[in-house]
Structure 1
Amino acid sequence: MNNSTAIAKSVNSPLFRPEVTVALGSQWMGAIRLAQPISVWLIAGVALAVAIALIAFLSFGSMTKKARVTGITVPTAGNISIAAPNAGILTQSHVKEGDVVQAGQVLFTLSTQRQNSQGEITALIAHQLRARQDTLISEQRLRESAANDKKIVLQQRLANLQIESDQIDQEIMLAKRRLSLSQQSIDKFQTLQNSGYVSAAQTQQKQEENIDLSTRLSNLQRNKIQLQTTQVSVQSEINTLANTLATELAQLNRAKAGLQQEIAENNNRHSSQITAPQAGMVTAITNQTGQNINGGQVLATIIPTVETSNANNEQDQQALEVHLYAPSKTAGFVSAGQQVLIRYNAYPYQKFGLQAGTVIDVSKTPFAPNELPQHLASTILSNAQQNILGFNSNEALYRIKVQLKQQSINAYGQVQAIKPGMTLEADVVQDRRKIWEWIIEPVLAVTRSAAP
């Protein structure tokens, strides 16, 4: 009974004394605050800074839309391929890689000799052609000599006719004088006959003499006319002889010119010289002396040069430009005036930075793979397939011409000139917007589409 009573009292009594409860409930010094560790404040500060930075980034930051394409450097005036005109053996190379040549300068000598049982065919043909040439020269000399001899004879005959004409003129003058004297004598005899001093028979005799003199004068004048006709005929023969000789010489010269052409062609069959069609720098020499060359095979490439108006009046190499080739999905928004950031494969941009350029032209129609430049097609297609995601090697490409800001790169303290044919990657800067504009662009697009 006592145990149960004790247990009942212990259950009903509080855990703490009433004094403790009263002391805790008064709290006359204020509420209890636990000390916070410094890491909490640091986290809060960092979170606030990140929030502010994010807001600033969204407000003031921008994003650039770029089109990544591949390309290659080419001279502004293009390349000139030097091809062999016919098959043969390369016997001599007059230039080496990097030489600057002038228009018409000999670059290569190509041997095209052929042999048969009698010897080298070209030499045999050359001997026959020289014989024909000697025959033509002899024939020309003989015709000139014969024409000169005939001309001398005709000129001598013409001189004799002139002398004879002068003599006839003197005889005509004398005949006219005698006729005048005879007429005066007739007049005197007529007067004397009227006076009865002479007979009529004497007067008639004088008249007959006058008639004979008139007849002789007429004959002389007729001979004079015939002599003049002969002179004109001889002079015509001389002129005809000159024209005939000129015609014959023209025919002989034409035959000699044709023969010279055959000789030149035959010499070309023996060995041909390949010359530079334009001034420039020789690059990409593909063959060595002694190698067999096929007709139309490219032996070298010339990069044209132009005269520049610099202080030294020197000849400088033409500036290079970049040709980018982009598929249709990339070339849609590319236009002239856009900035281009270039990464040359030969000069890693991680070390040497990006090079700047400007789009100056975009082709209106694409180039099929077989329409690309022959010496660049494989390089262009290979680079595009490696660097452009989803590129199809059979897809047509648009050509984008880019003007370079600089023609060289500063590499390890030295200026390295950009060379033709260097492969590269480029980013065409198409659009630059604020980040918040990119975020709300779908909303703006929906708004614009919903607007009437």
Structure 2
Amino acid sequence: MLVSEQGLFRQETRQSRNRAWLGEIVMISPPSRWLWGAFAGLIALCFVLFLLFGQYTRRERVVGQVVPSSGLLNVAAVSTGAVARLYVRDGQVVRRGDPLLEVSSERNSTDLGDVHALIGKKLADKRGRLEADFRTQQVAARQQTQALQEKIELLYGQLQQAELQIVIQRQQVESAQNLLDRIQPLEKDRYISIFEIERQQSAVRDAHLQYNGLVRLRLDLRQQLADAKEQLSKLPLDAAVQHNQIAREISDVAESLAQNEMERAVLFRAQADGVVSTVLIKTGQMVSAGQPMLSLLPADATLQAQILVPGRAIGFISPGTPVMLRYAAFPYQKFGQQRGRVMEISRSALSPAEVTTLTGQVPPENEGPLYRVQVALDRQYVLVFGKQEPIKPGAAFEADVLIERRRLVEWLFEPLYGIRERLKEAG
């Protein structure tokens, strides 16, 4: 008779055989494991949110300088000399016409002493003589005009008298001729002698001669009157010619005198209302022609920043683009960055010569084309320990132009966007 396996072994033996020799698997989950998992998930969620909502601004770092909106008024020496007097200082407010400084160019000679003073005295004497000649010429012109007018009046009188004498003499000629005509027939009857007739004929001839003489006198008086009138009409023109000649000589002397005084000492005055921006010289310092001495900031001028932006970034810049400036004179670590906004962009790239003129430096060859950009400053000053320190023209700075602001995920997938756009164009 067979015995079943269930009956052959005891229940405890069967249960022991069913167990693995390594024991049962037990899942142990301590609380710290759940905490670390939640923390990792939170970090992953924050990273995803950061990619989705975080933003990054692309910046273009440039350099530039501060310039006045209406230009800086520079005062330069016109000739070589020494600064004799300095009437202003940095930051001083001046009005149009106020004296700024005086430059002296006096030269001394061993034999003549102060050459400029001697030349000035000679020129002043010459001008005095010319002015005396000018006054004399005016008096002479008036006297000649008066003399001619009197002569014309006298000739008119003489002409009238000659006309009257001609009339009388014509009557005498006619009377003598009539008498001769009446007595000539009487000579045949011996009522009158031949001698009387010849004497009457002589009287007729004398009357004709006197009449012809008066006619010639009238012609002569008329010619004299015409000449006097012509002289009187030409006199203002001749006087004006002499007047202009002397005036030109006086003007030439005055110009030479002014040039001499300018070479001797030049007083520079303010060309407009404003503030003295920079004084580059001191009293007693020698200056040469064309050397800058000081500059004026016009009263109505505001300061703006001028930067040069490379062509690779100019396409993303437009009026209103924000700019962050860091002045070299005011470290941004202590005084912060200053704000500004793009105001104007040049339409064409600057040539290397124009860049050199603006910056005073030759641009690097690998920089590419540069565009001039004008930036309006939010403030005309920098807060230095609670005090408003004005920004000075010409101040150098480094700036960041905030070109483009996008979310991080857009920057991350930008290559994919580019591929998609190219596929669209290709399709």
TM-score, structure 1 as length reference? 0.71
Residue 349 of structure 2 aligns with which residue?
Answer: 365
Say whether residues 1:62 and 2:55 are aligned partners: yes
Shift of 1:261: 0.9
Preserved contact between residue 349 and residue 369 of structure 2 (Cα < 8 Å): no
Residue 340 of structure 2 aligns with which residue?
Answer: 356
- Give, in whole Å, the separation in 2 of the partners of 1:114 and 1:354: 52
Shift of 1:106: 3.1
Shift of 1:363: 5.5
Superposed, which structure 2 residues align to 1:140-159 within 5 Å? 140-159=134-153
Residue 428 of structure 1 aligns with which residue?
Answer: 401
Residue 129 of structure 2 aligns with which residue?
Answer: 135
Say whether residues 1:322 and 2:295 are aligned partners: no
Residue 243 of structure 1 aligns with which residue?
Answer: 237
Residue identity opposite 1:67 in structure 2: E
Moved more, 432-441 or 133-142: 133-142
- Give, in whole Å, the separation in 2 of the partners of 1:350 and 1:44: 44
Shift of 1:65: 1.7
Shift of 1:300: 0.7
Deviations 1:412-450 (A, max 9, x none): 555444332222222222222222222222122223323
Preserved contact between residue 338 and residue 429 of structure 1 (Cα < 8 Å): no
Preserved contact between residue 84 and residue 274 of structure 1 (Cα < 8 Å): no
Shift of 1:47: 1.8
Assess, with a 3 A threshold, how the Cα gap between structure 1 residues 323 and 367 changes in structure 2: closer, same or farther: farther
Say whether residues 1:48 and 2:41 are aligned partners: yes
Residue 3 of structure 1 aligns with which residue?
Answer: none
Which of the numbers 106, 115, 126 marks the counterpart of 1:113?
A: 106
- Give, in whole Å, the separation in 1 of the partners of 2:326 and 2:412: 34
- Give, in whole Å, the separation in 2 of the partners of 1:393 and 1:284: 35
Residue 93 of structure 1 aligns with which residue?
Answer: 86
Say whether residues 1:336 and 2:318 are aligned partners: yes
Assess, with a 3 A threshold, how the Cα gap between structure 1 residues 272 and 409 changes in structure 2: closer, same or farther: closer
Moved more, 143-152 or 156-165: 143-152
Assess, with a 3 A threshold, how the Cα gap between structure 1 residues 418 and 393 changes in structure 2: closer, same or farther: farther
- Give, in whole Å, the separation in 1 of the partners of 2:107 and 2:63: 48
Assess, with a 3 A threshold, how the Cα gap between structure 1 residues 411 and 32 changes in structure 2: closer, same or farther: same
Residue identity opposite 1:340 in structure 2: P
Which of the numbers 407, 410, 425 marks the counterpart of 1:437?
A: 410
Deviations 1:130-156 (A, max 9, x none): 332233234434444544444444333
Moved more, 124-133 or 99-108: 99-108
Unaligned runs of 5+ in 2: 1-10, 20-24, 183-202
Deviations 1:15-43 (A, max 9, x none): xx959x78x99xxxxx9775623x33322
Assess, with a 3 A threshold, how the Cα gap between structure 1 residues 359 and 250 changes in structure 2: closer, same or farther: closer
- Give, in whole Å, the separation in 1 of the partners of 2:410 and 2:366: 36
- Give, in whole Å, the separation in 2 of the partners of 1:175 and 1:121: 78
Say whether residues 1:255 and 2:249 are aligned partners: yes
Residue identity opposite 1:66 in structure 2: R
Query: In structure 1, the residue corresponding to 2:279 is in which secondary structure?
Result: coil
Query: In structure 2, the residue corresponding to 1:159 is in which secondary structure?
Result: helix
Report sequence identity in percent.
Answer: 23
Residue identity opposite 1:132 in structure 2: K
Shift of 1:372: 3.1
Moved more, 155-164 or 284-293: 155-164
Deviations 1:177-234 (A, max 9, x none): x79xx9xx99xx9xxxxxxxxxxxxxxxxxxx99999998898677555433322211
Query: In structure 2, the residue corresponding to 1:295 is in which secondary structure?
Result: coil
Deviations 1:288-328 (A, max 9, x none): 111111221110112233xxxxxxxxxxx312211112344
Query: In structure 2, the residue corresponding to 1:419 is in which secondary structure?
Result: coil
RMSD in angstroms over aligned alpha carbons? 4.4
Shift of 1:270: 1.2
Which of the numbers 63, 69, 75 marks the counterpart of 1:82?
A: 75
Preserved contact between residue 333 and residue 430 of structure 1 (Cα < 8 Å): no
Preserved contact between residue 84 and residue 298 of structure 1 (Cα < 8 Å): yes
Preserved contact between residue 342 and residue 373 of structure 2 (Cα < 8 Å): no
Assess, with a 3 A threshold, how the Cα gap between structure 1 residues 324 and 147 changes in structure 2: closer, same or farther: closer
Superposed, which structure 2 residues align to 1:406-421 within 5 Å? 406-410=379-383, 412-421=385-394
Query: In structure 2, the residue corresponding to 1:356 is in which secondary structure?
Result: strand
Residue 264 of structure 2 aligns with which residue?
Answer: 270
Preserved contact between residue 381 and residue 388 of structure 2 (Cα < 8 Å): yes
- Give, in whole Å, the separation in 1 of the partners of 2:395 and 2:36: 52
- Give, in whole Å, the separation in 1 of the partners of 2:339 and 2:401: 12
- Give, in whole Å, the separation in 2 of the partners of 1:359 and 1:250: 56
Assess, with a 3 A threshold, how the Cα gap between structure 1 residues 82 and 373 changes in structure 2: closer, same or farther: farther
Preserved contact between residue 326 and residue 337 of structure 2 (Cα < 8 Å): no
- Give, in whole Å, the separation in 2 of the partners of 1:265 and 1:351: 52
Shift of 1:49: 1.8
Report the count of equivalent residues: 394
Query: In structure 2, the residue corresponding to 1:136 is in which secondary structure?
Result: helix
Unaligned runs of 5+ in 1: 1-16, 26-30, 190-208, 306-316, 382-390
Shift of 1:91: 0.0
Residue identity opposite 2:252 in structure 1: G
Preserved contact between residue 63 and residue 308 of structure 2 (Cα < 8 Å): yes
Shift of 1:172: 6.8
- Give, in whole Å, the separation in 2 of the partners of 1:360 and 1:245: 62
Residue identity opposite 1:355 in structure 2: R
Residue identity opposite 1:235 in structure 2: K
Residue 160 of structure 1 aligns with which residue?
Answer: 154
Residue identity opposite 2:52 in structure 1: S
Residue identity opposite 1:62 in structure 2: Q
Say whether residues 1:233 and 2:217 are aligned partners: no
Shift of 1:113: 0.9
